[in-house]
Amino acid sequence: MDSNIQIEEKIITTARQMFIDKGFNGTSMSDIAKEVGINRTVLHYYFRTKDKMFQAVIGGIIESIISRIKFYDKETKEPIPYLVNNFIEAYFNLFKKHPKLPMFILREIDRDADYLFTTLLSLKGESFIAELKCNYEEAINKGYIKNIPLIYVFYTAYGLMLIPFLTKSAAIKVIVKDGKEFEELLNGWRPIIENQLILLLSAPKEAHK
């Protein structure tokens, strides 16, 4: 692999973890350069500003999951349970790999929601949202899913998926208290999320066109 590509990948990997751990404001270019083992001049060669680096980090996260979000698959006509399972798996894998990511998202929304969503929209986010809405409307028109506002699907899906990671310590220490590991709790919670989303979305079979 080209050494420039290796250095850039190391910068992005390091910056991602530092942004997730400390947030945008708590992470400096100097900290990232020091952690990577390069000086700021070299760092600026790859990323001129912290904003550019933040965009690269967010872009990588978006790319890892956007292809998994569908309500209707024209090609395979996969059923809703399969699509829901695929969607949850993508997010759970991401959150298990980066357990502080949910808190990072909330922290950045609280810090500057406009900046975060402007960043998302600039990184294929706008076209993705347009495609997602189109896919959602097509699924409704074909009777594949119920006609409910997309925002309620968003609230349900993300509310159910984020809360275990946001309350991990409190849930295990205060509520569970029986020695269960977090992974075991997630495995038990996952089918509940799936059932709720399937119940929310699924239209009667006879409604499919």
**What tens digit of pLDDT does each residue of 100-127 get?**
888 888 888 888 888 777 777 666 656 7
Tell me the helix, strand and coil percentages in the chain, rounded to 5: 80, 0, 20
What pTM was estimated for this model as a whole?
Answer: 0.71
Q: Domain residue spans in the chain?
A: 3-48, 63-207
Q: Residue 75: is its pLDDT beyond 90?
A: no
Q: Does domain 3-48 have CATH number 3.30.2010.10?
A: no
Q: Does domain 63-207 have CATH number 1.10.3470?
A: no
pLDDT number for residue 18: 92
What tokens were used for 34?
Answer: 């020091």
How many alpha carbons lie under 13 Å from residue 115 in its C-beta half-sphere? Answer: 13
Do 3-48 and 63-207 fold alike per CATH? no
Q: What is the mean pLDDT of residues 6-24?
A: 89
CA 78 to chain centre: 22
- Structure-model confidence comparison of residues 129 and 93, the more confident one: 93
Q: Which of 60, 56, 34 is nearest to 47 (CA)?
A: 56
* Sign of the dihedral defined by the CA atoms of residues 117, 119, 122, 123, in that order: negative
Q: Residue 90: is its pLDDT beyond 80?
A: yes
